[in-house]
Amino acid sequence: MSSKPPTRARRPSVWSTASLRYAAAFSALFGLGAAAIVAAVDYGMLRFAEAEVREGLSHQMEVMRADADRRGGAALVAELNAQARNRDARRYLLLVEAPDGSTFSNGLTRMAVNDSGFRRNLPTKARQTRWPDQAPNMLVLSDHAADSALLAVGRDIQHLDELRGGVRRFALWSGFSLILLALAGGWFSGRLFLRRLEGVNQAVGRIIAGQTSARLPAEGLGREFDELAANLNRMLDRQEAAMTALKSLSEGVAHELRAPLNRVRNQLEQVAAHIEDVETRDDAIERALEETDQVSALFEALLTLARIESGGDVLRVSYLDLAAIAATVGEIYRPIVEESGGSLTVTAEPCGPVAGDAALLQQAMANLIENAVFHGGAPAKIKVTTGLRDGQTVLSVADHGRGVPVAERENILRRFYRINPGDLRPGSGLGLAMVAAVIKAHEGQLRLSDNAPGLAVEITLPSAPSSCRPA
């Protein structure tokens, strides 16, 4: 046998939570998507800006070529040299070489110019300013006038690269910040999730330890968690109710069996003591058999009640005439009631068909009549009526006994419940519980009321369509 102490369950880390993992995964997906968008924007911006520069150069070239074609390349060189503003290279770099050898340039050299068309010149060293004497990053367009004069116009495009660099830096830092925010949000969500999980684990631990009244906390951290906690709490409520019912059933069975088993033991002791007295022995054996039959009937009633309440006893449904069933049960019990000096009156008015199990409904009526005989006083006066009310079939069994206090009317429908615990009269205490289970299985309603004096038990069952014929 190992001597190592039991290891304690390690508390989960925030870094192992699904929230943080999902946040990291979504951050990676978002980063890839953002990178693709930035690349597309960068490419589109470069193309658009360069197209604008080319359009401006083409327009400037048309103006220069028009002047050169009209007056000649030499005249254009003289005019450009005469105007001081043309020597400012802040907007355009110009180069004009006339056929007579005259030249104008405000910084654009012959080496940076093609014979015709566009040419892009990249810097060859670090550039500190935008002046053309320091190897600028520029785009040049060249062409020839009608007199073969060379015309060239260029523009510094270093600002385009700077713009692209700024966009890339902004995208990089923004993406990095968003990823950090997503991870921080995932970490915070993981902390909340672990806190909620810790509360659930503590509640489950208390339930496992025997505190069946403990329930899962609802902290309002999310609708899905609150609904799950509510459903689990309802499940625990039903489980606690089932355990309470089982405990009550066990105590009731033990209490109800104690007396008959003691009587059977006494009878067997009499048999053993008077084994030579045949008459006494036979009488004791007969009484012991009667007690055994009562115990068997008790267990049979418990099994039937359990099957009905659990849905295991499938109803054998047919269309029945409840008035005819009431009349039949009344005819069976009338001689028994009259023999004890009482009376049983059945007023079976037509009430239409109902869908139900004939055997169970007959058993329920018999239990109600037996309960009225047992608790209705002596002599018992019992009245059974059937009829229709608001389109539903109604059966009522009323007596003129002591009645049942309002506070006890729900309790007497429980198994083995006695209003007076000291009442030693025989009885299983399952009659009304069986009736309640049968009516619930038929989707009906059971109501207890005061008969002034006595108790009135009223059963309401949904009526079947009038076209359905009773079996």
Q: What is the fold of 315-462?
A: Heat Shock Protein 90 (3.30.565)
Rounded Cα–Cα distance for residues 411 and 420 (Å): 12
| Contact between 413 and 382 (Cβ < 8 Å) | no
Write out 183-210 in H/E/C secondary structure: HHHHHHHHHHHHHHHHHHHHHHHHHHCC
186, 229, 380 from 399: Cα distances, Å: 70, 48, 7
Cite the residue boundaries of each domain of the chain with CATH code 3.30.450: 19-163
What tokens does 353 get? 């068909």
Round to whole Å and give the CA distance between 349 and 387.
5
106-112 contacts, C-beta under 8 A, 24 or more apart: 106/132, 107/131, 107/132, 107/133, 108/132, 108/140, 108/152, 108/153, 108/154, 112/138, 112/140, 112/154
Walk along the chain (471 residues) and give the pLDDT tens digit of each residue.
444 444 444 555 655 666 666 667 777 777 677 777 777 777 787 788 888 888 988 998 998 899 888 888 888 888 888 876 766 656 788 889 999 989 998 878 888 888 888 888 766 555 444 444 445 678 899 999 988 899 999 888 877 777 777 777 877 787 777 777 777 777 777 777 777 777 777 777 777 777 777 777 766 555 666 777 778 888 887 777 666 666 665 655 655 566 666 767 776 776 666 666 667 767 777 777 766 766 666 666 666 666 666 555 566 778 888 888 888 888 888 888 888 888 888 887 777 788 888 888 888 888 888 888 877 667 888 888 888 888 888 888 888 888 787 877 787 777 666 666 555 555 566 778 888 888 888 888 888 888 888 888 888 888 777 655 565
Contact 444, 435 (CB under 8 A): no
CATH of domain 19-163: 3.30.450
How far apart, in whole angstroms, are the C-alpha atoms of residue 373 and residue 328? 17
Contacts 24+ apart (CB under 8 A), 199-206: 200/229
Other residues' Cβ atoms within 10 Å of the Cβ of residue 222: 13
For the domain made up of 234-308, the CATH class stated in words is: mainly alpha
Enumerate the CATH 1.10.287.130 domain ranges in the chain, comma separated.
234-308
Q: Tens of pLDDT along 119-138?
A: 887 665 554 444 444 456 78
Q: CB-hemisphere CA count at 13 Å for 214?
A: 15
Q: At 282, give phi and psi (nearest 5°).
A: -65, -40
